Amino acid sequence: MKSAKGASLPEPPPRPLFSPRETQIAVLLITYPRTKEIADQIGITEQAVKNSLSRMFKKAAVSNRYELRAYCIERGLHVAAGTRLMQSCT
């Protein structure tokens, strides 16, 4: 990318694949396999969790929660997001 004066600018950081809420659900999916447990942990309805999971399946190009869980673990999402969540709780 070039500035108006022709100097190179650094590339912007990549946009996260998941929204903050979806990231929160992804982290919880590692520990809580049931939709109700995830919903209870963050105080939303089970349907809201299901809707988020459906969007996440499409974004990650997976077809079920087990593949999504593996996708998140492989990319370290649960570690990075879990660390941020833990820091926000202290």
- Beta carbons within 10 angstroms of residue 85's beta carbon: 14
Tokens of 85: 């969540």
What pLDDT does 3 receive? 52
Q: Is residue 80 part of a domain?
A: yes
- Domain range for residue 45? 20-89
Residue type at 89? C
88: exposed, middle or buried (C-beta count within 10 Å: 0-12, 13-18, 19+)? exposed
Q: Is residue 2 part of a domain?
A: no
**Domain count along the chain:** 1
What pLDDT does 87 receive? 41
Is this structure's pTM higher than 0.75?
Answer: no
Q: What percent of the chain has pLDDT over 70?
A: 73
What pLDDT does 77 receive? 76
Sign of CA dihedral 5, 10, 11, 12: negative
What pLDDT does 83 receive? 53
Q: Are 68 and 29 in contact (CB under 8 A)?
A: yes
Supply the CATH number for residue 42's domain.
Answer: 1.10.10.10
pLDDT digits (tens, 9 = 90+) for 5-17: 666 777 766 677 8
- Tell me: pLDDT of 66 over 60: yes
Q: Is residue 7 part of a domain?
A: no
Q: Is residue 26 part of a domain?
A: yes
